[in-house]
Amino acid sequence: MAGQDRTVGPEGAGDHPAGGMGMTATTARSTADGVTYRDVLTDRDFRRLWGVTIFAALGESIAQIALPLLVYAITGSGTMLGIVFAISTLPKIVLSPLAGLLADRVDRRRIVLVCDLARVVAVGSLPFMDTAFQIGLVALIIAVFTALSRPAEQAAIPQVAGDRLLMRAISLTQVSNAAIRVVGPIVGAGLVAILGPGPAFFAQALCFAISSVLVFRLRPLPIDRRAGNPVPVARDLVSGFGVLWRHRVIRAIVMAETVWGGAGTIMAIGLVAYTDVTLNLGDRAESTFALLIGSFAAGMACGGLLASRVEWRLGRSFMLGFGYFAPLMLITLVFVPPLPMTFVALFLFGLSDSLLVVATQQIVVERIPNEERGRFYAVWTAIITAAWSVWYLILGPLTDAIGAPLTFLVVGLAAGLGCPLVLLLTGTLRELLLAEGPSRKRAGVVATQPE
């Protein structure tokens, strides 16, 4: 998905709420008391921390391409692919609250450094793995250190930037991460197309190695001793569910997102089998899969760039509808269309997903107070990541049993009809449509087009 967004594969599962390229682009245009990006980047420590976030995100994005190809090349099994991905999501569900506490009690620089070095070793060993069990174990280790590292990275930003640079520093980090989440899969696609999935892991390891060097050169980050008292994690988690329960629209969107997870997971499982077995491309299967994911990523990039204009012209309800009906595009793969049409379908699917990310993020920001968002995002992440884990375990065996095309049919119908049905039956769609008209008039939509 945290200037995060949805991504294909376990690295991005559940990252949806924390960012969207349309939102980050808006943030980038805003002013921060005269502070510019150049001012932020002249701060040596922040420049290094910014590099850490970029290289970590790039490494994770490359894995979105290389990991499913490696698992499928070894096992030829969608079931095993689903199991490996499901295992990779567990640390995010279990460790996120604990990782936040650790980031408040230990030098954040040291946490990120240890996690980066551990991931260099783990990722570098993946090309030498020859069983699904070994790959699953290593993927679990990588996911553990990623779950521990990310809260420390995020918490270090205000500590390094300081009050004066904070607004612009956060904006720059969000914009950069959104761009990397789009560029990363394309870079991974190119590496796999030229060198195969194995060497792509060495590129990922290099990203983490560069990140570790930048972290090492950061000044030590003092620990806030006021964080020494135990934080009631369980109570905060329960209160996060309370926030979710109080907001009917948000609750319906979370329900729809759990259904949409089928469309996200099938991109990591079914598409590998589709290119290898259904299209029977032989030696070209790996590069074709990588380029198809690149096409999806390119669609996300365009969606992010167009989001503000689409909302201005067609409204947020259109963005939600387009995004939630979009899995129906996957049904076109049932008929095994010519490859150029497949590229177009996945590009449009990525574009619609990006618009959906922006729309849902805006709804969350507008309806949930700032002081409650952290608890809500923790609950959102746990629910959506758990849903993706279940989908991985379902769709892997289903792909093996009925083949990739029919699995795309099942998922396309389930997600493409299920998500809008949730919004309709809960009254959410009607509520959003009623609220959107007056707000668009107040914003002077007819008079002024956004830049």
Give the number of other CB atoms < 10 A from CB of residue 31: 9
Q: Would you state the pLDDT for residue 3?
A: 33
Backbone angles phi, psi at 367, to 5 degrees: -105, -15
Q: Would you state the pLDDT for residue 195?
A: 79
Q: Would you state the pLDDT for residue 223?
A: 67
Most confident region among 87-91, 172-176, 226-230, 298-302 by mean pLDDT: 87-91
As a whole number of angstroms, the distance between CA 180 and CA 76 comes to 30
Q: Would you state the pLDDT for residue 32?
A: 42
Measuring CA to CA, how many Å separate 41 from each of 10, 37, 47, 175?
32, 6, 5, 14
Backbone angles phi, psi at 32, to 5 degrees: -135, 70
Helices (H), 274-338: 285-314, 316-325
The half-sphere exposure of 133 on its side-chain side, counting CA atoms within 13 A, is: 0
Give 72 or 239, the one with higher predicted confidence: 72
CATH architecture observed for domain 10-442: Up-down Bundle (1.20)
Closest CA to 100 of 365, 374, 386: 374
Mean pLDDT score of the chain: 79
Query: What pTM was computed for the model?
Result: 0.76
Name residues whose C-beta falls within 8 Å of residue 432's C-beta, 6 or more positions apart in sequence.
249, 316, 317, 320, 363, 423
Q: What is the mean pLDDT of residues 410-434?
A: 88
Q: What is the mean pLDDT of residues 227-245?
A: 62
Residue ranges of domains in the chain? 10-442
Task: Give yes or no for residue 105 having a pLDDT over 50.
Answer: yes
Q: What is the mean pLDDT of residues 12-27?
A: 42
Q: What is the mean pLDDT of residues 212-240?
A: 67
Most confident region among 215-229, 294-308, 317-331 by mean pLDDT: 317-331
Q: Would you state the pLDDT for residue 382?
A: 79
Tell me the pLDDT tens digit for each residue of 339-361. Answer: 999 999 999 998 998 888 888 87
- Supply the Cα-derived Rg of the chain in whole angstroms: 21
Tell me the pLDDT tens digit for each residue of 356-398. Answer: 888 887 788 778 776 666 667 767 877 888 999 999 999 999 9
Closest CA to 307 of 297, 322, 296, 294: 322
CA 235 to chain centre: 27
Q: What is the mean pLDDT of residues 330-335?
A: 92
DSSP letter assigned to residue 6: -
Indicate the SS3 state at residue 35.
strand
